[in-house]
Amino acid sequence: MSRMMNLKSEDGESELKEISKAEKVYFIINPIAQNGGSMKIWTDVEMLLQQERMTYGVYFTEYKGHARKLAADILSGSRIPSLIIAVGGDGTVHEVINGAAGFPQAMVGSIPAGSGNDFVRGLQKSKNMKHALKLLLQPASMQVKAVDIGKAISGGKAFYFVNSLGIGVDAEITAEVNQSPWKKRFNSLKMGKLVYIYFFMKKILSYKRTDMQVEVDGVTHLFSKVWFIVVSNQPYFGGGIKILPEAKSDDGYLDVLAVHQLTPIQLMLMFITVFWGGHQTIKQVRSYKCRSVSIRSAQPVLIQADGEIEGNTEVSVSVIAHKMNIVTHQED
Ligand SMILES: Nc1ncnc2c1ncn2[C@@H]1O[C@H](COP(=O)(O)OP(=O)(O)OP(=O)(O)O)[C@@H](O)[C@H]1O
């Protein structure tokens, strides 16, 4: 479904300085994000857009993977600078980024309407849904920034990620949560994050840690009993966990963190130390900055990218510097 509305603001085109750089604005809405809460958010957003008499196109996803196709279809139709706003969680942003990669006229933003929203937190730098909406309604507060993205290949399949990629227990938990009826129940109570904590507690008691070989910019490291390895483009993962505080999305590097050997209790304590960055001083937590990293697990284990299961067991990742235009708030 698509709709187009009136183009200019009441007093002329100049007010829409940055948005008019994006001559077209499209919203791609995931109607099942946040267990349908995204639709309520979209209704509120649309009311404000109409009050401002903005012109935009609207598309609703109809199946998993549809946002990627919609973004690619929109962008292949014209070379006009176009801003695509994902209304949903990190899964929706992930799909839009994958559809938009390779189209230099694309700009991507998000109205947070999911359970994780790490893209909005760490890259777009919006504090909440209203703050994100301000980007659109007060274009003077917006800047367009070319950020790095990760390109990954697992099992012969190539894909991009904008936040982070994880192999190990984090991906296994993601897969279990997505299949669980508890996700809907917790989401409908607006407590989507609690379900991840519940599955984390459950999973770490049964998870079989595995050995992994990691090649960081050509240097091989062997880790035994690995819980997870995360490759990140920004500080946050897993819905607000500041796991790689030094990661920057525009430095041409990816940050890698490997967590191994800890007992389940130590792993829980490690996550507590993340609040003040203390985890980085733990011997069993190793971190690197790199341009490329390959990971191979001794045992089959899942891989998630931006919270979506994308592969398993082995993956090669490289950074593509300044590949994706995103909208962010003007830095103070
Ligand atoms: N119409 C649809 N029907 C079914 N699945 C869809 C549809 N549109 C998008 N999806 C899938 O919904 C999943 C969740 O999307 P998203 O991350 O945006 O929302 P979320 O509520 O934050 O979920 P999560 O907790 O997994 O992050 C993604 O895997 C996406 O591919």
156 with 276, same domain: the answer is yes
CATH assignment of the domain containing 91 = 3.40.50.10330
28 with 113, same domain: the answer is yes
CB 304 within 8 A of CB 239: no
Q: Is 307 in the pocket of ligand 1 (CB under 6 A)?
A: yes
Q: How far is the CA of 244 from the centre of ligand 1 (A)?
A: 25
pLDDT at 15 over 60: no
Q: Is 276 in the pocket of ligand 1 (CB under 6 A)?
A: no
Q: Is 259 in the pocket of ligand 1 (CB under 6 A)?
A: no
Q: Is 306 in the pocket of ligand 1 (CB under 6 A)?
A: no
Would the ipTM clear 0.90, i.e. be above it?
Answer: yes
Strands 164-168 and 236-237: unpaired
Q: How far is the CA of 61 from the centre of ligand 1 (A)?
A: 9
Domain that residue 116 falls in: 14-137
pLDDT of residue 99: 98
Name the residue of 27, 28, 29, 30 to mutate for ligand 1: max ligand atoms within 8 A of Cβ: 30
User: What would the pLDDT profile of 268-312 be if each residue is shown by its tens digit?
Assistant: 999 999 999 999 999 999 999 999 999 999 999 999 999 999 999
100 with 212, same domain: the answer is no
Closest residue by Cα to residue 257 from 196, 329, 166, 169: 166
Among the three residues 137, 169, 195, which one is the final residue of a domain in this structure?
A: 137
Look up the pTM and report it. 0.91
User: What would the pLDDT profile of 309-325 be if each residue is shown by its tens digit?
Assistant: 999 999 999 999 999 99
What average pLDDT does this structure show over 4-27?
A: 50
Residue 302 sits at the vertex; the CA angle it makes with 300 and 306, to the nearest 5 degrees, is 160
Name the residue of 32, 68, 121 to mutate for ligand 1: max ligand atoms within 8 A of Cβ: 32
Q: How far is the CA of 107 from the centre of ligand 1 (A)?
A: 21
132 with 241, same domain: the answer is no
260: left (phi over 0), alpha (psi -120 to 50) or beta: beta
- Mean of the per-residue pLDDT values of the chain: 90
Q: Is 308 in the pocket of ligand 1 (CB under 6 A)?
A: yes
Q: Is 115 in the pocket of ligand 1 (CB under 6 A)?
A: yes
Name the residue of 42, 64, 182 to mutate for ligand 1: max ligand atoms within 8 A of Cβ: 64
Among the three residues 90, 113, 137, which one is the final residue of a domain in this structure?
A: 137
CATH assignment of the domain containing 256 = 2.60.200.40
